[in-house]
Amino acid sequence: MSKTETIAFISTREKTRPVSFLEAMEKGLAPDGGLYVPDRWPDLTDPFWKNIQGKSLQEIGLLLSRTFIPEVAARELQPLVEDALSFEAPLVHLHDDRYILELFHGPTLAFKDFGARFMARMMSYQARRKGEQMVILVATSGDTGSAVGRAFEGVEGVDVCLLYPSGKVSKLQEQQLTTIGGNVTALEVEGTFDDCQKMVKEAFLDEELRKDITLSSANSINIARLLPQMFYYAAALAQLEEKSPVHFCVPSGNFGNLTAGMMAGKTGMPAGQFVAGTNVNDVVPLFLEEGDFVPRPSRATISSAMDVGNPSNLERIRALYPGMATLKQHLWAASFDDDQTRDAIREVYSNYDYLLDPHTAVGYLAARQYKDERKGDRDPVIILSTAHPAKFGDIIEPVIGRPVTMPDRLAESLRREKKSIGMKAEYPAFEAFLKESYGS
Ligand SMILES: *Cc1c(COP(=O)(O)O)cnc(C)c1O
């Protein structure tokens, strides 16, 4: 690509100057409060999408990274991309026109590994380039923290500090958060998740502290977590024999996963419909139906990673497809409750001998309803499987009436020794800890 064609990133609110990918990554949120999106969409129909068949995830990752991160030389990108994408995303045929894209073969058994691992390596690149040590602060109520923590494990130039509410995350989550060690420290806060978030916010507002320590965040709205999620949409098509347009069905909460698919669509991916499944946190299906977007407090469900009442990436989706008519051409959504989700897990297990986690089960239900309403549609539908069922054994075991086998990498993290530092839910204690651990 020539210099004049180079892609930059702008805010969804269009009130800021274009920045490079690395700058957008460091900022996270744009200064006008919007989210970063590419300033234009390169048409990659030919040769990229046309010749996608048989390409590996790593090849795809490198080709797309080179397009969207032109400021990093290909020979420098290659090892970062290959290291980030060190596991597969296999496409499994479930039945008839239904496929499952398994995104849970990474270290924490959930799709967030893709985004977090890629971002970690790009942050490390940036830290080395600037000759600075970076400290990432993450307040977590469970899953995000372990995906981010594991992603940065042993990554040069970056330290991670995870804050979690003591006694308020599951045993399995706590074990995953507190056994990483090395450059990843777990702070066990005597308070709530909101306290953890407040302490992190205060640190970011502490200008005195920030003169001494380079702080950064690893939010799910970060463009560096979104970009690598485009890769597996392409990897899914690379594994599919059929040539017809393919529908993608995504179990959704914050709608980052689905946004990445739409971004791939903008570059010419031969996609049919994007189908979103939500749990009873159904603000997006209601928005499509009624035309008004009304955020609501979230409600607790068994697909808890999708308990989101104000999905932040909707702002990106609306920027990609402005206007309700256009948006509806591309996006269809439906919501399902916990009983329907449990039924789906039971049915798929007994009919196809395949175990869905509660999140993927919501996706399965959405795909089924979409197809049921369109009897003549024979196009394949790929359901993105966002987590390994063993992560949710406590929910699934009573449903199927037998234990769920735990993969080795999960069992291994359960055997490691817990290491956390207890802390009062007060900023001065956190500040002192940061200065002592990371200050000059
Ligand atoms: C985060 C998460 C989701 C929701 O993904 P979004 O990008 O927020 O829509 C779904 N399933 C699992 C297992 C998750 O961890």
pLDDT bin (cut points 50, 70, 90) of residue 357 is very high
pLDDT bin (cut points 50, 70, 90) of residue 279 is very high
pTM (two decimals): 0.94
Return the residue whose CA atom lies nearest to atom 15 of ligand 1: 305
* Ligand 1 touching residue 255 (CB < 6 A): yes
Q: What six digits make up the tokens of 272?
A: 């049919």
Domain membership flag for residue 201: no
pLDDT tens, position by position, 40-90: 999 999 999 999 999 999 999 999 999 999 999 999 999 999 999 999 999
Average pLDDT over residues 390-401: 94
Query: What's the one-letter identity of residue 333?
Result: A
Confidence (pLDDT) at 413: 82
CA distance 257 to 314: 11
Phi-psi label, residue 186: left if phi above 0, alpha if psi -120 to 50, beta otherwise: beta
Sign of the torsion formed by the C-alpha atoms of 374, 375, 379 and 383? positive
The ligand 1 atom at the shortest distance from the C-alpha of residue 391 is: 13
Confidence (pLDDT) at 1: 44
pLDDT bin (cut points 50, 70, 90) of residue 295 is very high
Domain membership flag for residue 189: no
Domain membership flag for residue 234: yes
Average pLDDT over residues 293-311: 93
pLDDT tens, position by position, 412-438: 888 899 999 999 999 999 999 999 999
Average pLDDT over residues 177-205: 93
pLDDT tens, position by position, 197-233: 899 999 999 999 999 999 998 888 999 999 999 999 9
Of 68-82, 87-101, 127-141, 265-279, the least confident: 127-141
Structural domain including 299 reads 88-108+224-406
Task: For residue 211, count CB atoms less than 10 angstroms from its CB and return exposed for 0-12, middle for 13-18, buried for 19 or more.
Answer: exposed
Confidence (pLDDT) at 50: 94
Confidence (pLDDT) at 339: 98
Residue 253 Cα, ligand 1 centroid: separation in angstroms? 6
Return the residue whose CA atom lies nearest to atom 8 of ligand 1: 254
Q: What's the whole-number average pLDDT of the chain? A: 94
Which residue in this structure is represented by tokens 């003591």? 166
Residue 3 reports pLDDT greater than 60: no
Q: How many domains does the chain have?
A: 1
| CATH code: domain of residue 296 | 3.40.50.1100
Of 100-114, 136-150, 325-339, 384-398, the least confident: 136-150
CA distance 132 to 138: 19
pLDDT tens, position by position, 245-264: 999 999 999 999 999 999 99
Residue 2 reports pLDDT greater than 70: no
pLDDT bin (cut points 50, 70, 90) of residue 36 is very high
Peptide bond preceding 47 in cis form (omega within 30 of 0): yes
Q: What is the 3-state secondary structure (H, E, C) of the chain?
A: CCHHHCCCEEECCCCCCCECHHHHHHHCECCCCCEEEECCCCCCHHHHHCCCCCCCHHHHHHHHHHHHCCCCCHHHHHHHHHHHCCCCCCEEEEECCEEEEECCCCCCCECHHHHHHHHHHHHHHHHHHHCCCEEEEEECCCHHHHHHHHHHCCCCCEEEEEEEECCCCCHHHHHHHHCCECCEEEEEEECCHHHHHHHHHHHHHCHHHHHHCEEECCCCCCHHHHCCHHHHHHHHHHCCCCCCCEEEEEECCCCHHHHHHHHHHHCCCCEEEEEEEECCCCHHHHHHHHCCCCCCCCCCCCCHHHCCCCCCCHHHHHHHCCCHHHHHHHEEEEECCHHHHHHHHHHHHHHHCCCCCHHHHHHHHHHHHHHHCCCCCCCCEEEEECECHHHHHHHHHHHHCCCCCCCHHHHHHHHCCCCCEEEECCHHHHHHHHHHHHCC
Counting residues of the chain whose pLDDT is more than 70, the rounded percentage is 99
Domain membership flag for residue 327: yes
pLDDT bin (cut points 50, 70, 90) of residue 396 is very high
Catalytic residues: 112
pLDDT bin (cut points 50, 70, 90) of residue 291 is very high
Residue 5 reports pLDDT greater than 80: no
Q: How many CB atoms are closer than 10 A to CB 376?
A: 4
Query: What's the one-letter identity of residue 261?
Result: G
* Ligand 1 touching residue 423 (CB < 6 A): no
* Ligand 1 touching residue 333 (CB < 6 A): no
Domain membership flag for residue 96: yes
Query: What's the one-letter identity of residue 208?
Result: E
Residue 194 Cα, ligand 1 centroid: separation in angstroms? 20
* Ligand 1 touching residue 356 (CB < 6 A): no
First CA to last CA distance, the chain:
42
pLDDT bin (cut points 50, 70, 90) of residue 173 is confident
pLDDT tens, position by position, 317-330: 999 999 999 999 99
CA angle 65, 61, 40 (to 5 degrees): 40
Return the residue whose CA atom lies nearest to atom 14 of ligand 1: 305
Residue 4 reports pLDDT greater than 60: no
